[in-house]
Amino acid sequence: MPVYLRFIAFLMLLGFVPVVRAQDVLLETIGVVSSQGIYSAYTSIGSVADAYHGGVYTAEFTAQLMDEYANLMRASVAQLEKLQASNVLSAPDAVFIGQLLQGYQHLQQQALSYKDFLENGQEASLQAYEANRKSAWDVISQLLGLENRD
């Protein structure tokens, strides 16, 4: 081992060089990837609905995509609930994960509400879609420090 690496290792043992814990890196990575994922899901669900209204997608294809998004959100919620139950999170991390859970649950309901609209044509389904879209954006904009546009 080169001398400089031995010296750095010695300083780390003495506490002079900060040691990055693997768990911290994993939690930071979860936060970054989850933030990107929730934002992308929000924009994707809205884009698919817009594509249907613009005549680009058929009702059948749109319903299939909304079902797939709902399933992805369901899987995200299940995994985040496991993480939350693991007791490895600090208090601030637990709050962040709780907010992510809320956002993903709204996105799941947003996608399912639009699928319901495609199947039943009822205004109530569109209202549920819109309410969940706004609730999801409230969570996402707060998590990411973005302007709340609604």
The confidence band for 32, taking pLDDT boundaries of 50, 70 and 90, is: confident
Instruction: Assess whether pLDDT exceeds 70 at residue 106.
Output: yes
| Exposure string over 65-102, b if 16+ CB within 10 A, otherwise e | bbeebbebbeebbeebeebbeeeebeeebeebbebbbb
Q: Is the pLDDT of residue 4 over 80?
A: no
DSSP state of 90: -
Contact 114, 49 (CB under 8 A): yes
* 130 neighbors 107 (Cβ within 8 angstroms): no
Closest CA to 22 of 30, 14, 34: 30
Residue 84 has pLDDT above 60, yes or no: yes
The pLDDT value recorded for residue 25 is 76
Across 100-125, average pLDDT: 97
Mean pLDDT of 56-74: 97
pLDDT for residue 96 is more than 80: yes
Domain boundaries, the chain: 21-144
